[in-house]
Structure 1
Amino acid sequence: MKIAVLDDYQGVARDLADWDSLGAEIRVFTEPFAGEAEVVEALAGFEVIVAMRERTRFPARVLAGLTGLRLLVTTGPVNAAIDVAAARELGVVVCGTGYVAYPTAELTWALILAAARNLPAEWGSMRAGGWQVGLGVGLRGKVLGLLGLGRLGTEVARIGQAFGMECVAWSHNLTADRAAEHGVTAVGREQLFARADVLSVHTVLSRRTRGLIGAAELALMKPSSILVNTSRGPVVDEAALVAALRARSIAAAALDVYDIEPLPADHPLRDLDNVVLTPHIGYVTRELYEIFYRDAVEDIAAFRSGRPIRVLG
């Protein structure tokens, strides 16, 4: 059996699980593919592919080109980049792994604090031999707006409450009772944008959430507000966000996700002085990677035994 482990950017996959127990030929890919044709060419002949979240896309046309593929394992319990129905029609089993939400919630707060206290500029000044260069803002008494109050949103809200923030939330299906269970006030969509001092995005990407935050929504926000996105880049209209940041119609943005990933080197977000950027590392922790790769090995072993586990779709 030939196994491909994809998008191991840190080169840690082999150390975080017992791959040798599979007795298989394993190749680890540490760089992203340039496009679909390269995916099909590079992965031809592999019977098993382990995908790291949604870094590599597997639409029907790619799956159809991987004629030797029998098992596709995605880290995490869902993967919007895999056409699971097409895989099933082609006879490819798709399995997932375990997942925990807290690493992304922790990074969300790292980004909020970095933006609120102007940490990139202060750190840059210290590195250059300087001293204080800006004025931060405190969070106590401010309004934390949550676009989505699922597993991640509720965890971020809990930490916000510890900071003494008032938490409000909106999503398409959120009820007042559901929000109140977590000490959060459900508000209307426009009210969410208008009231939030910090607006944090925690909604899945779908047809109705793509571009959900556009120029009109950004215009509702306070000039002092901070937008944080650790969900999916296309939830926010990236061009509208760049325009708002350039015009200072919002104070700052803190982003871990983007329309195109990896973010192009010449992207305008990289040139702005009121944005904090991280390279989609919300889930990139040793503890979660250990879950991902351990479960991936279990999935492969179970598939080989004829009893696949954690099957998706």
Structure 2
Amino acid sequence: MTARPPLRRIALLDDFGDAARASADWSGLPVEVFTDHVTGPALAERLRGFDAVVLIRERSPFPAELAEALPDLRLVVTTGMRNRVLNMDACQARGIAVCGTPSSAAPTVELAWGLILGLARRIPAQENALRQGHWQAHPPGLELEGATLGVAGLGRIGVKVTAIALAFGMKVLAWSPNMTPERAAAAGAELAGKLDLFARSDIVSLHLGLGPSTRGIVGAAELAAMRPGALLVNTSRGALVDEAALLAALHEGRLGGAAIDVFEQEPLPADHPLLAAPNTLLTPHLGYVSARNFRAYFEGATACLRAWNAGAALPNPLNAAAGATTAQDPHA
């Protein structure tokens, strides 16, 4: 392979829990770990002089103007194989290599079911009441056996969520913009129209990618179609849901509750209105956050960084500058 100048400065961004250092062997790599979050001009200033950046999924947007502001940057490693807020075209145009890492869908599937169970059985509210001296202070929760789960999106996560629903004895409806009856049936679900899915489900769980056609795809009409007391769970993308419509449905008591792991603005500001909305179960984008998945992420990242320094082929290349032979779509 062609010799490359070794990396002099590597930035690892947004390591909120300071987990990266313990998840892989970084020895010999000149990495600087940032545990806070900055954006815009402050991020460009922070990254000035770095020749490699490691991104944790989609925590920091990496638009074209940021790539253009960093003339020393030669390599970007994103954890996972897709990052919708990383401008791949700008990186390729500037000759910046982009690599991904291995990842697992299992943590998001497990978190989705943790949220479903927590919301359906009112576990956080009951636990908080118990600590305050109250016994069975809230109304009974929803029993899953015999209930209907609506799954919006049957990708690798939605299919696994469906399998667990069937194990609970639930009926599963499935919908996505390109869903077919055969694909739904193969997963053990029944194809439904979008409004029909929202109207017939006791719980709706979102597992769609975000793009122009799906932004705001759950709006006032979909929320109004949901039966009284129904639950909405979103572990996919915050912008799939019209936030104003969701807040209205919650405050008006038309929804039984919403469990949300993903937000259009992350980290969530301390004054965000969802924090004060009733009947919510909120988590700080934990879907992919597990010890095993972080080991896969950061061992994959260090493998890419070491391959660069060794002049070897880069693992998991995502653009031609990194050695990919076919273009990758970070929004897929």
TM-score computed with the length of structure 2 as normaliser: 0.92
- Aligned-partner SS, 1:111: helix
Task: Output the amino acid matched with 1:2.
Answer: R
Query: Could you tell me whether the CA contact under 8 Å between 2:260 and 2:281 is conserved in 1?
Result: yes
Give the secondary-structure state (helix, strand or coil) at the position aligned to 2:112. helix
SS across alignment from 2:119: helix
Q: Secondary structure at the match of 2:71?
A: coil
1:90 aligns with 2:94: yes
Larger mean CA deviation between 23-32 and 204-213 belongs to 23-32
Look up the match of 2:207: 202
Q: Does residue 273 of structure 1 match 2:278?
A: yes
Deviation at 1:222, TM superposition (A): 0.6
- The percentage of aligned residue pairs carrying the same residue is 46
Matched, 1:100 2:104: yes
5 Å-filtered alignment, 1:107-126, equals 107-126=111-130
Rounded to whole Å, the distance in 2 between the matches of 1:25 and 1:305 is 14
Correspondence 1:256-271 to 2 at 5 A: 256-271=261-276
Cα displacement (A) at 1:130: 2.2
The residue type equivalent to 1:116 in the other structure is A
Corresponding position of 2:180: 175
Matched length? 310
Please name the residue that 1:296 is paired with: 301
Match among 18, 28, 46 for residue 25 of structure 2: 18
Alignment RMSD: 0.9
Q: Partner of 2:117: helix, strand, or coil? A: helix
In the aligned structure 1, how far is the partner of 2:53 from the partner of 2:117?
38
What is the rounded CA distance, in whole Å, between the counterparts of 2:142 and 2:192 in structure 1? Answer: 24
Is contact 1:303-1:309 (8 Å) kept? no
User: Alignment partner of 1:284: what SS?
Assistant: coil
Q: Which runs of 5+ in 2 are unaligned?
A: 1-7, 320-332
Q: Is the 8 A contact 1:59 1:82 kept in 2?
A: yes
Q: Does 1:148 align with 2:150?
A: no
Give the superposition deviation at 1:129.
2.5
Q: Give structure 1 stretches of 5+ with no counterpart.
A: none
Contact preservation (8 Å) 2:10, 2:53: yes
Superposed CA offset, 1:269-312 (max 9, x none)? 11123010000001110000000000001111122233222111
C-alpha contact 1:257 1:280 (8 A) present in aligned 2: yes
Normalised by the length of structure 1, the TM-score is 0.97
Query: Could you tell me whether the CA contact under 8 Å between 1:69 and 1:92 is conserved in 2?
Result: yes
One-letter amino acid of the counterpart of residue 80, structure 2: G
Where do 4+ consecutive residues of structure 1 move more than 6 Å? none
Q: Is the 8 A contact 2:258 2:281 kept in 1?
A: yes
Tell me if 1:217 matches 2:217.
no
* Number of the residue aligned with 1:244: 249
Give the Cα–Cα distance (whole angstroms) in 2 for the partners of residues 89 and 60 of structure 1.
10
Matched, 1:71 2:67: no
Indicate yes or no: 2:45 matched with 1:29: no
Cα separation, 2, equivalents of 1:273 and 1:305:
54
**What is the rounded CA distance, in whole Å, between the counterparts of 2:127 and 2:137 in structure 1?**
10
